[in-house]
Structure 1
Amino acid sequence: MTKNKIFKKRYWIIGCIILVIILSVSGGYLTHLYIKTENMVNESQEEIIRESDKSQLRSEKVNPVQDNVSVLFLGIDTSEHRNYGEKSRTDAIILATFNKQDHSVKLLTIPRDTYVYVPEVNYNTKINHAHFYGGPKATLETVEEFLHIPVDYYVRMNFDAFVEVVDALDGVMFDVPYEIIESDSHDQKKAIHLSPGYQKLNGEEALALARTRKYDSDVDRGKRQQEMIKAIVSKATSLTSVLKLSNIVDSIGDNLTTNLSFQEIRGFISYGLDKEINIDTLNFKGSGIYMDGAWFYKVEEESRKQIQQELNMHLNLSMNFAKQLLV
């Protein structure tokens, strides 16, 4: 199988996942929506076992109501026609840090082929393999090992929810950078055909644009995902979308697992109510390499350290403190 064919089968975007934190609580004043959201989150809860129920890089447990926190967003393909189930690899990994003081969010896309040490198996491999070996917990621990950044929570969602959320919003406006011909979410070949230009995309079209990397690279794919997140959040937080929130919650429904409780999600309400949400995107510098017949993305060490420092500062943490806790 050629590299392009392999790439064609790897897809996902995480935009809809951000909505469950930033958006769903913003309409919580509507009683029926509040109850629906609470029920959805309660049914989606899936804890991970950690000592003292916190990151090893935290001296004490945090609370989104009053603390700066981090959330790891995982996009996976659990569709029936692929039959991956819980053994799916992650098609998208985004680490988000939330700062309570300035109501800002930083999004770091981690390319799925990034070469990292995976504690679950005690050797180096692609970061997207961590979920296959040990689910969200293994991925979370891998990210902490790689960046020395505490990962407080995770949210995992499959791509069905993304398609449904975009459709529930009646599409999103996006500047398509080039012509693309792609498969849809059911692997129907050439089902999606987009021309360049600013246009409204439905769920399948948005997913196809977010998933493709045969036209550029995995890094560019990550940047498109970040821009798609901004487009979805912008549309979802507009006044015209208020009446669509119930449909959005329905779309997320069965496609979500998280260790966030409903009360913790309510702690993010200040971000959802801030009309000027500052979302800053971060990306690693690196290059592709072949090792043992496989293609990996190798992050430049200086870039890793720079982003590590920026995220630590955003969380108001000391890098030395984090390193001490790892020892």
Structure 2
Amino acid sequence: MTEQRRSDRRRKKPRKRLWLRISLFVILILVLGVGAFAFSVYSNAKQTVNEKIHEEISSIDSKVAKEKISEQKPLNILLLGVDKRPGDGGRSDAIMVLSLDPKNNKMNLISIPRDTRTLIVGKGYKDKINHAYAYGGVDMSVATVENLLNIELDYYVEMNMQGLTEMVDAVGGITVDNPLDWYDEGYYKEGYHYKKGEIHLNGPQAMGYVRMRHLDPNGDFGRTKRQRQVIQAIIDKGASIASVGKIDDMIDVLGDNMKTNMDFEDMKNLLFNYKDVRKNVNSYMMTGNGTKISGVYYLLVPDEEVAKVHDMLTK
């Protein structure tokens, strides 16, 4: 079998966690940046957020978080991309910390690799960090990330991976400038030719666009660039006047796929008090060394890397 065919077969398998990394960031940006969300359909948005999306957890004191928002203090938000299946509690295949600093108008988005080996708070032993969600849901994930990075988390946002494709479709599709030319046999049994240049993508096609890696000469770097393209395209499309009529659909997607301890008032305050943090966005992924322990792959993140990320989130 040729290397091309092997690559084609590998591309048939959905790489869900890649999409998860994108979906969480998109939702937070929409909350921060789309004014129409809070005004044009105020009643529907308030009801959806407070009745379907809002969910408190014991590991975060929301009263303290509300005080921080009202005083426009820096915030740390845990973003979890979760793949839930029937009969399965799910696993967080994407873990990020979003820091918002309104005083300096900057935002940091830190990705924590899912295979990072760390102490699972509540279990008392080390394991892959994404197992914390499987063991104890959002509460254990919050406690474990706080312990790893020595930070305090103010909010969490949990997003089911299905929300990404639905969000792209909800805004009426997106347009990107594709730097490569390739053919994907399709995520939903629908092939698509990704022509070089400007192309329009629906939800499933956007999934294929961000998950391709083996045909990209830049590997993960090229894939990451395409992820940023899709994020920006969704933000631009969602914030445009042309999407005002689609706001109800976007809210429905959030209601079906998102959980957070933010209530509607929190989101409104973020919209007004933290809107300028998007002026300076820094994205970073924690690095380490891969190894196998008892036959299981882990990423070992050195102390100096942890300290670097801690400083990025707190200074």
Aligned to 1:206: 206
Would you say the 8 A contact 1:68–1:97 is kept in 2? yes
Is 2:71 the counterpart of 1:63?
A: no
Indicate the larger mover: 214-223 or 132-141: 214-223
Instruction: Give the Cα separation in 1 of the matches to 2:38 and 2:56.
Output: 24
- Give the direction of change, closer, same or farther, for the CA distance of 1:128–1:183 in structure 2 (3 Å limit): farther
TM-score (normalised: structure 2): 0.80
Q: How many residues in Structure 1 have an aligned counterpart in Structure 2?
A: 297
Match of 1:29 in 2: 39
Structure 1 runs not aligned, ≥5 long: 314-327
1:74 aligns with 2:48: no
| CA apart distance, 1:181 | 3.3
Answering whether residue 54 of structure 2 is matched by residue 45 of structure 1, we say yes
8 A Cα contact 1:62 1:69, kept in partner: no
Please give the TM-score of this superposition, normalised by the length of structure 1: 0.77
SS at match of 1:120: coil
Change (3 A) 1:171 1:74: same
Aligned Cα root-mean-square deviation (Å): 3.2
1:173 is the counterpart of 2:183: no
1:46-74 C-alpha deviation (Å, 9 max, x unpaired) = 111137x269xx8x874323222111111
Take 2:211 and 2:101, find their aligned partners in 1: how far apart are those partners? 29
Quote how far apart the aligned CAs of 1:92 are: 1.2
Which residue of 2 is the match for residue 266 of structure 1?
268
Distance in 2 separating the partners of 1:126 and 1:217: 24
| In structure 2, distance between residues paired with 1:119 and 1:34 | 39
The answer as to whether partners of 1:16 and 1:161 remain within 8 angstroms in 2 is: no
Shift of residue 208, structure 1, vs aligned partner: 3.2
Shift of 1:77: 1.8
- Residues 179-204 of structure 1, C-alpha deviations (whole Å, 9 max, x = no match): 463652xxx56756645555332211
| Identical-pair percentage | 31
Q: Partner letter of residue 90 of structure 2?
A: S
Q: CA deviation at 1:42?
A: 0.8
The structure with the largest helix share of the pair is 2
CA contact (8 A) 2:62 2:261 kept: no
Code of the residue aligned with 1:109 in structure 2: it is: S
1:63-93 residue CA offsets vs partner (Å, 9 max, x unmatched): 3232221111111122xxx4254x1111211
The one-letter code matched in structure 2 to 1:199 is: I
Tell me which amino acid in the other structure corresponds to 1:69.
Answer: L
- Residues 30, 238 of structure 2: 8 Å contact kept: no
Encode CA deviations 1:260-283: one digit per residue, 9 max, x unaligned.
Answer: 111111111137755963322122
- CA shift at 1:134, angstroms? 0.7
Residue identity in the other structure for 1:73: L
Unaligned ranges ≥5, structure 2: 1-9
- The CA deviation at 1:153 is 0.6
Quickly say closer, same or farther: Cα 1:252–1:61, change in 2 above 3 A.
closer
Distance 2:57 2:221 in 1: 29
Distance 1:54 1:170, change over 3 A: closer
